[in-house]
Amino acid sequence: MTNILVTGGAGYIGSHACKALKRAGYTPVCYDSLVTGWEEAVKFGPFEKGELSDRARLDDVFRKYKPAAVMHFAALSQVGESMREPGLYWRANVLSSLTLIEATVAAGVKNFVFSSTCATYGDQDNVVLNESSAQYPINAYGGSKRAIEDILRDFGASNGLESVIFRYFNVAGADPEAEVGEFHQPETHLIPLMLDAIAGKRDALTIFGTDYETPDGTCIRDYVHVCDLVDAHVLGLKWLEEGKGSRIFNLGTGSGFSVREVIDHSRSVTNKDVPYTEGDRRPGDCTKLVSGSTRAVEELGWTPDRSTLQTMISDAWRWHQTGHYDK
Ligand code: UDP
């Protein structure tokens, strides 16, 4: 079996990626500090606890498992927090990723799959966001991810490291079998917060800003199902294995939904009222982020079939009711 080193494999997206890799016949080796991840989410391969910034530990793990490729998910990923503590984001995301990339190159591993973000594009009015769009991040999260993209480009040129970079739009939903799912502590993302509010586990959801220049005044996002997203990663890995070289792909569906529309869908999926209040804008939020690219569909053969709002919310709701790591 081919080993794949999965950083952040105990987190939301990383744990789903481990499941998809195992199903595709790989052995996912989860490397995670458990600072934001959950050991209960490591179910699909060996676990190595460690910090990304710990070069000696990374070198040991590369020696032990001889992975054919790296999938790098580990990161801090909250827009709001990145505005309050930019240093944390530049250190945890950029410096640690540099350490990982150097360890990867030193181990002779040539294939690298990286989680980037549509937040690298920033707030661009009336621009179709495709992979060649300019990148003007407006928060430290997006800035830190763009910097890692630059590092990968430079190591590609100098060391032959081939990378597939995925720029995620908004990831949502959960494993339909509810083996793994979304659980952050603290939670900051719209859909899990909304489901908590519906279930009475927390107070009303606050809509962050109702005065944006959108039809209903709330921010618009392009939501993609976590299972579709990780399927793209397996396709990206095969792309690299076939020697097709470094490439950047947006992962979004091209359909945008406002916060109010997500609330309406949640009401119809759960048949319950969504308690919410209207609040101020959250610093760092873009008005609208919707992918304008079909490159992943055309070139990777990606089929994001589960990425309807209905399926994402109902899978998240199932996980919310049956899963969880907060025992
Ligand atoms: N949002 C909101 N209330 C919340 C959390 C999020 O109105 O309690 C909005 C947020 O302003 C953004 C959208 O929901 O427009 C998605 O936010 P999330 O944090 O889930 O993802 P992000 O877009 O920051 O990656």
Mean pLDDT for 64-83 is 97
Q: What is the pLDDT of residue 210?
A: 98
Ligand 1 binding pocket includes 141 (Cβ within 6 Å): no
Question: Residue 117 CA: which ligand 1 atom is closest?
Answer: 25
Ligand 1 binding pocket includes 118 (Cβ within 6 Å): no
Q: What is the pLDDT of residue 327?
A: 45
Catalytic residue among 26, 31, 121, 141: 141
Q: What is the pLDDT of residue 326?
A: 62
pLDDT tens digit sequence for 88-129:
999 999 999 999 999 999 999 999 999 999 999 999 877 889
Mean pLDDT for 158-162 is 96
pLDDT tens digit sequence for 247-282:
999 999 999 999 999 999 999 999 999 999 999 999
Q: What one-character-per-residue DSSP string does 169-196 give?
A: -EEE---TT-SS----SS---HHHHHHH
Q: What is the pLDDT of residue 58?
A: 98
CA distances from 40 to 217, 259, 295, 324, 326 (A): 39, 31, 35, 9, 10
Interatomic CA distance for residues 205 and 262, integer angstroms: 12
> In sequence order, what are the residues at sequence separation of 6 or more whose Cβ sits closer than 8 angstroms to the Cβ of residue 91?
none
CB atoms within 10 A of CB 106: 13
Residue 210 CA to ligand 1 centre (angstroms):
12
In which band, very low, low, confident or very high, does the pLDDT at 27 lie, cut at 50, 70 and 90? very high
Contact present, 213 and 258 (Cβ < 8 Å): no
Ligand 1 binding pocket includes 193 (Cβ within 6 Å): yes
Q: What is the pLDDT of residue 215?
A: 97
Interatomic CA distance for residues 96 and 235, integer angstroms: 26
Give the residue among 240, 261, 243 at the shortest CA–CA distance from 163. Answer: 240
Candidate from 76, 195, 221, 261 with most ligand 1 atoms within 8 A of CB, to mutate: 221
- Rounded to the nearest angstrom, the gap between the alpha carbon of residue 239 and the centroid of all alpha carbons in its chain is 20
**What domains sit in the chain, N to C, each tagged with a CATH number?**
3-172+222-251 (3.40.50.720), 190-221+254-320 (3.90.25.10)
Ligand 1 binding pocket includes 55 (Cβ within 6 Å): no
Mean pLDDT for 54-70 is 98
Question: Residue 77 CA: which ligand 1 atom is closest?
Answer: 25
Ligand 1 binding pocket includes 232 (Cβ within 6 Å): no
Report the percentage of the chain scoring pLDDT > 70.
Answer: 99
- The overall average pLDDT reported for the chain is 96
- What number of helices (H) and strands (E) belong to the chain? 11, 14
114 three-state secondary structure: strand
Question: Residue 219 CA: which ligand 1 atom is closest?
Answer: 15
Q: Which residue has the higher pLDDT, 186 or 153?
A: 153
Mean pLDDT for 169-181 is 97
Contact present, 191 and 312 (Cβ < 8 Å): yes
pLDDT tens digit sequence for 294-322:
999 999 999 999 999 999 999 999 999 98
Q: What is the pLDDT of residue 324?
A: 74
Tell me which amino acid residue 126 is.
N
Interatomic CA distance for residues 85 and 92, integer angstroms: 11
Tell me which amino acid residue 8 is.
G
Contact present, 14 and 8 (Cβ < 8 Å): yes
Ligand 1 binding pocket includes 205 (Cβ within 6 Å): yes
Question: Residue 281 CA: which ligand 1 atom is closest?
Answer: 11
Q: What is the pLDDT of residue 145?
A: 98
| 141 annotated active-site | yes
